[in-house]
Structure 1
């Protein structure tokens, strides 16, 4: 019988196209590592997959080719808001030795500018009132660890798989800070006795459309209520910190390392930073997908220049060929079969900007180096979150701070200096240092002025050709 050795929080498309595939390969030789999944918000994924025994299709698309694979590593899915006790019971099963997560940057209830827990976050505030029935990721982890400690069950290893800088230490700190608000002894236990294994995950996974469902079901000859679409490329770099045991990740292609941070920084800055820049500018210019955006030569030149001249000099990754990685990213961005929507990538920018662009900005400013393309990416985000596009139509901005950001734009109007100053005043995103840096403010205002005056396509043409 297949046993569940992993609980995964956040069973979304990315997890099913990435970690679940690696674990499916592992189960062929080691059946103790099935996954108990958890949805932290809605029941739709559980309901869709329950009728098909939690089997689902991964469709790998490249050019005109689509390869299908049915994955069976997901044993069951709990819906935390419906029954948090059932999920906590699963997390306390002695057979479970890893709790992993893909809850997105906003799921950690933290301040993106500092990397610390935000105790005023609504979910955290609710958990502090009812810590035995938590709804937040930090709350669930802390309560499960508390129960295991009380029952004298060894703690599981926490394995975050989200795009956070130094995601292992960052999540360790967040959970310890949460625990300290509950119980000092629990906080010390989390700090000293619980392992946190950092990771770098990479695979482009667009949202599944109704057309995708129809196409995949037709190819399979049986209905799949929720397949996932992805690309051939996949990468998983994992810090080897699993004191109570782990699957043989390396046997199925994962890279086990002592320190994941250089790899994580490379991916966050090169792939994710470029993706966000493409998303805001591409959406504003009227492009629906990343591949359509990259097919415009000015945008391709801009992204190549961004990675080569402004991002790569900030990176030092042992054994990595940054030029080859850049070239592979450009090929992946150009894959027309993926249909990765710019609007989807643009979601939750207030949570993504600090790690995707602002860390690079700070390093470049510290080196006295130019940041023109990085500043354009930041300005494009500012233009996007005003929630009005270049034709005067509303933009459906999906972001935890969407209402606040829209209100800032309405008050500041189309004056680039006022608009930039107002957004730079959001300390949860920019901290205090960047708003005080003329070397940062000046190019951001210049880029924002160009976007407001000439639009995204003309501005990208100017920047892509090296003129600012």
Structure 2
């Protein structure tokens, strides 16, 4: 995106008098929140909530922004050029009606690049007002790697950087329990708070920070497991961006688009809301004693529906989630599969799960969102294992029969993964074909794709070849491959036979 020559860059003087007043108030608020990560998601989710808390009068605090990696450092200067202002555009469906709502968000009061301003970054730990840390460094950022600690040198690894930051706070305030922080890692990792705490303590011990520090971290830092749920797409397409900025009269290098739906579920005592008044500010946030049922709900209904529909949609020529859902037969199939087979297999009350499913389906129809099935398709073998295989097993154990629609999805996945290797320059890719012969590139674990190619070859054919396929042999070989599935799926009674039947009749099932 390039800045327009005709529209000025977003500045406070371009906003309304009320927005300017709110922005000036924010700049005077105590710095309470350290944000690690400057991406679209945090702007469209956490930062918007902080803005709403301040606007409600229930909270009085501002945010210091730091990038997750050195690559993000250049964006700090751009955000400072906009004086911390950016536009959030909420677009989608709510209760069947289109929603398009613009808000100017103001929460940032300072910007620190830890990779070029290491000491200034650590000095933030010395602030008495600091109370909360939020992060989104992606799943790849929440990792442990062996590294040497050299005092005075910046650290790229997020948990290691946090360990040094907390140690500076410990050096400043001693073991004062009142100086413990509430830490909310928003990375999409199960038990993200517990995992981050484990890594911080490992680095603390490796760096020789001492038992007293580790005990202080254990007892007085709140590492809270949490589950975030909102689709934040960020910058609109160029044509849409031009339409919006022309109507608003300003450019915004940080324009962020998000769907109206959101929920934040945090594993912690409801009394924490006095400290971070998300619920009291009217936001859709839940403080819960156990995050597992909510994670199960999201993984098996929202993510599970994506994984369920993807192979069928791609095989039958659909390119986006919305396009598939607007196909009456396929859309109804997805809804019925979730209602009849997924919801009965989960632990929350069925009425609550069905409400969540209905909200999910409305999100799938979002006319502003082009959620591509090929994007969902990446690494689908492991996704099917995590999202749908547990449901298949639970349903089978409970109902004493296979869930037919989940088995159809698995059958379609195997057919979609009837791949052949194709060299593209120096890179080895794997190609499959739709039901009408259109090529698709399949992106997944290379070893697994090679094994699948071998299984299909031994069963009479590979993708792109004509000839009779011994589906029974292919299914038995693929489902029993413990390298791919980590178990022998042919041990599930009747599964191999049903998948074989489906593959022999695939052309007629959704015709």
Does TM-score exceed 0.5, indicating one fold? Answer: yes
Alignment check: 8 A CA contact 1:385 1:402 kept = no
Structure 2 segments unaligned to the other structure (5+ residues): 1-27, 420-429, 457-461, 463-473
Distance 2:401 2:216 in 1: 43
Question: Which residue of structure 1 aligns with residue 65 of structure 2?
Answer: 36
Change (3 A) 1:173 1:317: farther
Question: Which residue of structure 1 aligns with residue 106 of structure 2?
Answer: 72
Change (3 A) 1:39 1:297: same
> How far 1:206 sits from its partner (Å)?
3.0
> How far 1:291 sits from its partner (Å)?
1.0
> How far 1:148 sits from its partner (Å)?
2.5
Question: Which residue of structure 1 aligns with residue 255 of structure 2?
Answer: 227
Question: Which residue of structure 2 aligns with residue 61 of structure 1?
Answer: 91
Question: Which residue of structure 1 aligns with residue 185 of structure 2?
Answer: 160
Question: Which residue of structure 2 aligns with residue 26 of structure 1?
Answer: 53
> How far 1:304 sits from its partner (Å)?
1.5
Matched, 1:271 2:299: no
Distance 1:3 1:345 in 2: 41
Deviations 1:358-417 (A, max 9, x none): 5445544654563554455566667469642425645374xxx75555555555554455
Matched, 1:195 2:222: yes
From 67, 72, 81, give the equivalent of 1:51: 81
Distance 2:148 2:382 in 1: 23
Distance 1:13 1:155 in 2: 28
**Greater mean deviation of Cα atoms: 406-415 or 441-450:** 441-450
> How far 1:339 sits from its partner (Å)?
2.1
Alignment check: 8 A CA contact 1:38 1:87 kept = no
Q: TM-score, structure 2 length as denominator?
A: 0.71
SS at match of 1:140: helix
Q: Which has the higher contact order (CA 8 A, sep 6+)?
A: 1
Q: TM-score, structure 1 length as denominator?
A: 0.76
Distance 2:360 2:245 in 1: 30
> How far 1:182 sits from its partner (Å)?
5.0
Alignment check: 8 A CA contact 2:230 2:258 kept = yes
Matched, 1:248 2:300: no
From 296, 300, 323, give the equivalent of 2:331: 300
Change (3 A) 1:84 1:75: same
Structure 1 segments unaligned to the other structure (5+ residues): 110-118, 463-468
SS at match of 1:311: helix
> How far 1:448 sits from its partner (Å)?
9.0
Distance 1:419 1:341 in 2: 27
Deviations 1:246-289 (A, max 9, x none): 32111231233333332232122211221333345434544332
**Greater mean deviation of Cα atoms: 322-331 or 274-283:** 274-283
> How far 1:48 sits from its partner (Å)?
4.9
Question: Aligned pairs, how many?
Answer: 435
Alignment RMSD: 4.0
Distance 1:102 1:3 in 2: 23
> How far 1:239 sits from its partner (Å)?
3.1
Distance 1:381 1:128 in 2: 44
Alignment check: 8 A CA contact 1:213 1:226 kept = no
